[in-house]
Amino acid sequence: MKNIVKVLILIFVIALQAQAQLLSGIKLCIDPGHGGHDAANDRYIPQTGFWESDGNWDKALHLKEILTGLGAQVILTRQGNNDSDDLPLSQRAGIANSNNVDFFQSIHSNGWLGTSNSTLLLYRGYDAQPIFPQAKTMGAIMVQRIYQVNRTTGYSNRGDWSFYPDWGTSGLGVLRPLNMPGVLSEGSFHDYIPESWRLMNTNYRRSETWAMARSFLEYFNVGNEGVGAIAGVVRDPEKNVTYYYLSGSNDQKKPVNQVQVTLMPGNKVYNGDDKNNGFFFFDSLAPGQYTVYYHADDFSYDSSTVTVVAHQTVFADKFLIEAPNYNPPVITNYTPVSSAINVSRLANIVVDFDIRMNSTTTQSAFSISPTISGSFVWENNNKKMTFDPSGLLDAGTEYTVTIDTNAVSYFGTKIAAEVSFSFSTRSKLNLLALYPDSGAVDVSATVQLRAEFDAAIDPYSLSGNVTLKDIDGNSIGVTPDATGYAYGNIIFEPQQPLDLNKSYILTLKSNIKDMENITLGYELVVPFKTTDETYVSGNVFDTFEDIGGWNDPEFSGSTTGTVPDFTTFSVVSTKKVNGTKSGRLIYEFANETGGVCRVYNSTKPNVGSNASSEVGMWIFGDFSRNMLEYWFYHSSTSNVIVPINSLDWTGWRLVRIPLSSVTGPGDKLFHSIVIRQTSGTKKGTLYFDDAQSDIVTDAEELPVPNRYALQQNYPNPFNPSTMIVYSVPERVNVTIKVYDVLGKEVAQLVNEEKDNGIYRVAFNTADYNLASGIYFYRIKAGAFTSVRKLMLVK
C-alpha cells in the first residue's frame, strides 16, 4: 500500500509540474455578475439566503486561482462584493478592452419561477451569425462542461440577439462593447431551491469553476490539466424534502447535513456544511482508483470505489441508511396535550417518537375512548403518527388516548411502558369581542359591525340569524365581509350610512353555528346609538387623493416587528369621507407584542402653533385594540409622540387632539401616523382621509347648515389640484360635475347621498389630463343647483 501511495504522489507531482504553464501568455478577463446586496437586482433567494452576487464573486475567486495556477494572467472586473463594486456593464467590458485580453467571461446563475434548472451560454449576435465566431465555439465547449458538473436538466448555447428577440440587436450590455470574443454563463438556476442550497456551498461553486477552467484549456487547445476531481451528494433515502423538486430527480430526497467524507489513499477529509445540500468535493486528484468513506450521525457507515480520470469530475453520490437503534422507543410529544380543554372537534391526534416505528404494530397499539373510526398518516421517517378521525369528535366529551406496549420500533424493540393522555372537546361557541357593545353610544354612522368568536363560522347559518334594525323596527340593508368567517369573525357594514343620533339594534340569534356544528345557543341583542356629531370644519392639508409624501411603513427605521410582505400603505378608492380616495394602511405584526408600524410623511406639513385649536384626521377604525399615535416635530427635528387612543372602534371618526398636547416651542410639523402593538390583534386595516388643522374645538359653535351652498374653489387659479367646499341642510343625493367651456363633462367629483353637513372634495386635474383654461363646476342636490367658475393654469 505504501508503494502505491508513493507512486500516486509521484504521478501527481509530475502532473502538477506539467500543467502549471498550460495557459502561459494568455490573458483572460473574468466578470463576476452583479455586485453587492441590493434585493432589487442582486437576486436574493430568501428561502436559502443565497445572493447571486455572492455566488458569482466566489466563483470568480475560485476560477482566478485555478487559471493563475495554469499560467494565465487573470483580470477581475470587480474587487469585492459591496454595492459600490457593482459597475455599469459598459465599464466591465471596458476593463477587458483596455487590458487587451484574449477572452472575456461574465459569470452568472439564472432564475425563473423556481421550477427549472438548466445551463445557458450566451454570445453576441444571432444563433447562426455570431459577431465573434470564436465566442460561439467557446460557448459550445463551456456549456457542456458546466452541464456535466452541475448535472442540470439540459443546456443551450445561444446568440443573445436570438435569445432576446425583443431587444433587436442591442443584446447583452456586458457583451455589446467587447473588442474580443466573450460569453456570459448561466451555470444553473439559483431559484430552484435544491440548486439554491447547493449554490450555498463554496465547493459546489468551485466544482463549476473547474468546468470553466477545463473549457479554457480546450478552447486554446493547450492540453488538459492532468488531474481530476470527485464530487457527490449524500442523501437520506427515507426522507423527502418539503420544497419543490423536479420530478424524477434525486432532489426529492433530503440531503444529509454535516456529512464527513474521507478519501483514501491520501486520507483527505471533507466536512460537509449544514446548508441542506449534502455536497462534497475533492479536486486536484491524480488519476487512479480511490475509496470514498461516508459518515454521518444516525447513519450507518458506507463506502464507494471511484476511478479518477484526468480532466474530468466523477461522481460518487450516496444514499445513507439509517443506523440501527435497539433502544426502547420513547414518545417525545403528543397533541392534544394531556388535560387539554376546549379542543377542536376537528382535531387530529398526533404522536411523536424518538425512533422510527413499525407502523403496523404501532397502529394496532393505538386506541381512543370513546371509540371513533379514522385513518393513520405517518411522517418524518415513521417517527410521527397522526390519527385523523373520520368524523367530528363529540362535543363536550372527554377522550382518552392509549399507546400500549405492543408498539414496536422499526428495529423490533417494544415501547417500555404504556402511555395514556386525555383531553376534552369544545361544547359551546364563545364570543370573544363585539363592536359596538351593548349600550354603546357615539357610534360612527359608517360603523363596521363585528362579532369575533373562537371558531370558524359556518356562513350558511347566518341567513335570517343576523339582523340590524332601527328603533322603529325597520330592517337595514347590510353588506357582509366573507373573508372573516374562516377566522371566526362576522363582519358587515350598512349599505348606506346610518342616521346620526339614532338608536339601532343588532341581533345575533341562537342558531348561528361554527364549522364544527356548535351553535351560539342564545340570542344576543345589542342596542347602540350613533353619534350626533356633524362634520367639524378645519383647514384640510391632506386630502389623500394621491400618495403625496407618504411612505410605506418599511421605509421608516422606527417600524419594527412587522411582516413586510403584508404591511403596506397606499391610496385607494375603497372607502372615503370626501373626494374619491383615501389612504389605506394594511399591517401585520410578526409577534404577540412589541411591534411598531410607522407611516411617515416626508412633506411634514406645518399645522401651526395655535394652542387653542385642534389637529387630526378622519380614521376608519379596525377594532384591533392596538394604540394609535400621532408624531410631530417642533423646532424642525425634535420629535414629539402623542398617544391618541386605542383603536377600539370601527367606521369613520374624526380623531383630533388639542395642538397644546404637542409640547415644544414654535410651529408643529405633523409627520407620522403610528400603530403601536399592545394586547390587540396582530393584523388590521385602517383608512385615513382629510387630515386637517385649526379644527374648531367646541363643535357646538359650528351650526348645522340650514341652507344649500357651493363655495368658490380655493386656490383659484390652481395647478394641479384645488378644493371645493359645499354644504347641504338635509340628507340628499349630491352630484358635482366639472365642464369645459363648450359644456362637455370632463369630471365627476361626487355622486352619492350625503347627510346634512359641510363637505370638501378635491379636484386633481392630474387624474383627467386637462389643458389650461376656464372650467365650470356644478352642484345638483335635490332641487338645488349652483355653478361656479375655476381656472386651471399650467
**542-579 confidence digits (pLDDT tens):** 999 999 999 999 999 999 999 999 999 999 999 998 88
Contact 607, 695 (CB under 8 A): no
The grid coordinates listed for 330 are 420513547
Contacts for 91 with CB less than 8 Å, ≥ 6 apart: 77
527 preceded by a cis bond (ω within 30 of 0):
no
Among 112, 122, 121, 20, smallest CA distance to 68 is for 20
> Would you list the DSSP string of 554-622?
GGSTT-BSB-GGG-EEEEESSS-SSSS-EEEEEEEBSSSS--EEEEEBTT--B----TTSEEEEEEEEE
User: Which of 319, 339, 367 is a domain's end point?
Assistant: 319
Query: Within 10 Å of residue 791's Cβ, how many Cβ atoms?
Result: 15
**Do 360 and 312 share a structural domain?**
no
pLDDT above 90 (res 718)? no
Q: What are phi and psi of 169, to 5 degrees?
A: -105, 20
**Do 726 and 690 share a structural domain?**
no
Q: Report the chain's mean pLDDT, rounded to a whole number.
A: 93
Model confidence over 162-214: pLDDT tens digits? 999 999 999 999 999 999 999 999 999 999 999 999 999 999 999 999 999 99
CA distance 136 to 151: 22
Cell 460537509 found at: 272
Judge whether 326 lies within some domain.
Answer: no
Cell 375512548 found at: 369
For residue 650, give its domain range. Answer: 539-701
In the 8-state DSSP scheme, what is residue 460?
Answer: G
pLDDT at site 358: 98
Would you state the torsion angle of the CA atoms of residues 773, 774, 780, 781, taken in this order, to the nearest 10 degrees?
90
Among 598, 527, 586, smallest CA distance to 561 is for 598
User: Which of 645, 668, 701 is a domain's end point?
Assistant: 701
**Do 178 and 59 share a structural domain?**
yes
pLDDT band at 533 (very low <50, low <70, confident <90, very high): confident
CA distance 595 to 176: 49
Tell me how far the alpha carbon of residue 222 is from its chain's centroid: 50
**Do 188 and 135 share a structural domain?**
yes
CA distance 387 to 746: 66
> Edge-to-edge strand order for the sheet containing 709-710?
709-710, 721-728, 757-764
314-343 mean pLDDT = 96
**Do 356 and 491 share a structural domain?**
no
Judge whether 195 lies within some domain.
Answer: yes
**Do 336 and 313 share a structural domain?**
no
118-145 mean pLDDT = 98
> Distances from the Cα of 575 to the Cαs of 18, 620, 652, 687, in angstroms?
77, 9, 9, 7
**Do 347 and 297 share a structural domain?**
no
Would you state the torsion angle of the CA atoms of residues 498, 570, 628, 443, taken in this order, to the nearest 10 degrees?
0
Among 640, 638, 657, 497, smallest CA distance to 576 is for 497
Q: What angle do CA 369, 371, 374 make, to 5 degrees?
A: 120
Model confidence over 664-702: pLDDT tens digits? 999 999 999 999 999 889 999 999 999 998 775 444 444
DSSP element (H, E) containing 494? strand 489-494
Percent of the chain past pLDDT 90, that is, above it, reads: 84
pLDDT band at 16 (very low <50, low <70, confident <90, very high): very low
By DSSP bridging, strand 228-240 and strand 313-315 are: parallel
The grid coordinates listed for 577 are 369621507
In the 8-state DSSP scheme, what is residue 706?
Answer: -
Model confidence over 257-296: pLDDT tens digits? 999 999 999 999 999 999 999 999 999 999 999 999 999 9
CATH number of the domain where residue 652 is located: 2.60.120.260
Between 202-219 and 133-150, two packed helices, what is the crossing angle to 10 degrees? Answer: 140
pLDDT at site 697: 41
* Amino acid (1-letter code) at residue 31: D
Tell me how far the alpha carbon of residue 60 is from its chain's centroid: 31
Burial of 476 (0-12, 13-18, 19+ CB in 10 A): middle
Q: How many domains does the chain have?
A: 6
Ramachandran class of 278: left when φ > 0, alpha when ψ lies in -120 to 50, beta otherwise: left
The helix/strand count (H/E) of the chain reads as 8, 50
Q: What angle do CA 20, 25, 28 make, to 5 degrees?
A: 95
Contacts for 718 with CB less than 8 Å, ≥ 6 apart: 790, 791, 792, 793
> Distances from the Cα of 718 to the Cαs of 260, 548, 689, in angstroms?
75, 17, 22
Alpha helices in 105-154 (DSSP H): 133-150
592-607 mean pLDDT = 95
pLDDT at site 479: 94
CA distance 306 to 309: 10
Among 428, 531, 523, smallest CA distance to 467 is for 523
CA distance 707 to 397: 66
> Around 67, how many Cα atoms within 13 Å sit in the side-chain half-sphere?
28
pLDDT at site 368: 98
Percent of the chain past pLDDT 70, that is, above it, reads: 95
Contact 775, 791 (CB under 8 A): yes
Judge whether 203 lies within some domain.
Answer: yes
pLDDT at site 759: 84
Model confidence over 62-104: pLDDT tens digits? 999 999 999 999 999 999 999 888 999 999 999 999 999 999 9
**Do 611 and 572 share a structural domain?**
yes
In the 8-state DSSP scheme, what is residue 18?
Answer: H
**Do 718 and 750 share a structural domain?**
yes
Judge whether 349 lies within some domain.
Answer: yes
pLDDT at site 764: 85
pLDDT at site 701: 44
> Edge-to-edge strand order for the sheet containing 440-443?
440-443, 524-530, 503-508, 466-470
Judge whether 434 lies within some domain.
Answer: no
CATH number of the domain where residue 487 is located: 2.60.40.1220
* Amino acid (1-letter code) at residue 345: R
CATH number of the domain where residue 301 is located: 2.60.40.10
Cell 367658475 found at: 789
Contacts for 704 with CB less than 8 Å, ≥ 6 apart: 534, 729, 756, 757
CA distance 185 to 143: 8
Judge whether 385 lies within some domain.
Answer: yes
- Mean pLDDT check: name the lowest of 11-20, 216-225, 315-324, 460-469: 11-20
DSSP element (H, E) containing 638? strand 638-646
583-600 mean pLDDT = 96
pLDDT at site 699: 41
CA distance 369 to 398: 8
pLDDT at site 539: 81
Judge whether 249 lies within some domain.
Answer: yes
pLDDT at site 720: 82
CA distance 699 to 608: 20
Contacts for 523 with CB less than 8 Å, ≥ 6 apart: 507, 508, 509, 510
* Amino acid (1-letter code) at residue 94: G
CATH number of the domain where residue 153 is located: 3.40.630.40
Contacts for 460 with CB less than 8 Å, ≥ 6 apart: none
User: Which of 425, 459, 482 is a domain's end point?
Assistant: 425
**Do 692 and 546 share a structural domain?**
yes
Contacts for 781 with CB less than 8 Å, ≥ 6 apart: 708, 726, 728, 732, 733, 734, 735, 754
pLDDT at site 535: 61
**Do 272 and 184 share a structural domain?**
no
In the 8-state DSSP scheme, what is residue 475?
Answer: B
Residues pairing with 289 in the sheet: 307
Ramachandran class of 172: left when φ > 0, alpha when ψ lies in -120 to 50, beta otherwise: beta
**Do 557 and 513 share a structural domain?**
no
The grid coordinates listed for 477 are 340593508
Residues pairing with 453 in the sheet: 431
Reduce the DSSP state of residue 206 to 3 states and report it: helix
Contact 786, 777 (CB under 8 A): no
Judge whether 278 lies within some domain.
Answer: yes
Alpha helices in 36-132 (DSSP H): 52-69, 89-98
pLDDT at site 148: 98
Model confidence over 404-453: pLDDT tens digits? 999 999 999 999 999 999 999 999 999 999 999 999 999 999 999 999 99
